[in-house]
Structure 1
Amino acid sequence: MSEKTIKLAVLNGEPEIFHTIQGEGVSMGVPSIFIRASLCNLHCKWCDTDYTWNWKGTPWPHEHDSDPAYQKFDKQDFLTEIATSEVASLVAQFPCRNIILTGGEPLLQQDAWIDLIQKLRAVDTQYRFEVETNGTQVPQQAFASLIDQFNVSPKLENSGNALGLRDKPEAMAYYAGQDRTWFKFVISETSDLQEVLALVQQYHIPHDKVLLMPEGRDDQTLQQKRLWLADYCRDHGFRYSDRLHIQLWGSKRGV
């Protein structure tokens, strides 16, 4: 069997693989190694990893389009395809065993992740794997069996994606039925909250498995949303997630 390759985002000319602490979600504060996949099947207008999908020549709008300094990304400069053995070697350099597969949308490349996970666990069975996904893709059984935690972030109307693209009932029902799934919703306005409640009811998601996180790339924007969102989480039995990496380092890559 030929070795698999993975399409990864590029940071400073290298595959975007970095050792930091998780900045959001239920694992906030946990030392982790991030492996950022390129490519995504959704195109959120506020996405802060738009260099994984907003290629030159594509029609997708982004909130930064009004900025004269902003332009779509050259795919050949922001995407690299490398062998899973090379990725495994890069990951093994770090003294950490919590791995987060992120993106983009990681589940577009499940076969490659299976190959990588098997390589890493052959070296050390203590490797633990989390996946950050938009919740539109149903995992293959072979892939799901290797994952310790699903961090699902379903997209709301505020993302700019059409309903038929962002809400996939088969995938959402799958994740809602998994004890190892946590759901994180990005909240821009108070009007988003009724949409969250509707999804929680539709897919029978336990309230204690739901996290609400304010949308924003700077602390001032986040602060405008924190207090009313925290109150809402308290009143509805949801967890609150901040964006710790923004507080610590600002809107930077590789941290």
Structure 2
Amino acid sequence: MKLAKLNGKPEIFYSIQGEGKSIGKPSIFVRTSLCNLHCIWCDTDYTWNWESTPFPHENDAKPGYSKFKKSEYIEELTTEQIVDILKEIPCKNLVLTGGEPLLQQTELKELMAALRAEDENYWFETETNGTIIPSDEFDSLINQYNVSAKLSNSNNSVSLREKPEAYTFFSNNEKAVFKFVVATKTDLEEVTSLMRKYEISPETVFLMPEGTTADKLNEKQQWLVEACKHLGTNYTDRLHIHIYGNKRGV
């Protein structure tokens, strides 16, 4: 399995879930590498923004920022190696994140099956951009889908970010919740349009402010909370940003 690399090691860490339905829940994170989208504000661009690719990123304006050398940011591990690492961490709540984890769902299916064989109390949730339909085998093992569906503010084209069959799969799956990153008030029109189009229940929707600092999140907090009250959706912050700042592996 291709994992993101952090400080010369695979990016596996014990923290709390900072977003969505499971916010505040102590969890182990396994960060896969590779993604099929290229969000302009992505805070894990080291999983896809490789040298010689044409994708823009808001960090392009920062002095010293450059695209990533693929060979230096991917660590390949076997299922057995990952299981050995996870068994040493005193937690059974596992978040499969990325990148886009469902690009490697065959490998992740093997990982979940191996961990359940060790302890049936493992809980698995996966982050996903909602463009890839899980296999039946993957679906039978996962407990929760955190569908971070992308809006136009991500700078991905409609044809890339909106896959009708995948939207329909997740909107009809009782394990799925939706998380939309909201940058401006006009984004709310896009969210409500998608909810109507794919019959997404407001109770399964979490609206989250875009931002990688506490100040930027707080700027959007008041009006976004009011929007959630009006729409009947849930509000989610980015708790890990408030606690740790915009850091990796926490």
Q: Does 1:54 align with 2:49?
A: yes
Read off the aligned partner of 2:40 and give its amino acid letter.
K
2:68 is aligned to 73
| Cα-to-partner distance string for 1:223-250 (whole Å, 9 max, x where unaligned) | 1100000000011101000000000010
1:191 is aligned to 186
1:228 is aligned to 223
Superposition misfits of 4+ residues, deviation over 3 angstroms: none
Alignment of 1:1-255 (within 5 A): 6-255=1-250
* Cα distance, 1:69 vs structure 2: 1.3
| Cα-to-partner distance string for 1:14-42 (whole Å, 9 max, x where unaligned) | 00000000001110000000000000000
Q: Where does structure 2 lack aligned partners over 5 or more consecutive residues? A: none
SS of match in other structure, 1:26:
helix
| Cα-to-partner distance string for 1:84-123 (whole Å, 9 max, x where unaligned) | 1000111111110010000000000111011111111111
Alpha-carbon distance in structure 1 between the residues aligned to 2:200 and 2:109 = 27
Using the aligned pairs only, state the percent identity: 53
Q: Where does structure 1 lack aligned partners over 5 or more consecutive residues? A: 1-5
SS of match in other structure, 2:40:
coil
1:3 is aligned to none
* Cα distance, 1:67 vs structure 2: 1.2
SS of match in other structure, 1:189:
coil
TM-score calculated relative to the size of structure 2: 0.99
SS of match in other structure, 1:132:
strand
SS of match in other structure, 1:41:
coil
TM-score calculated relative to the size of structure 1: 0.97
RMSD of aligned Cα (Å): 0.5
Q: How many residues align?
A: 250
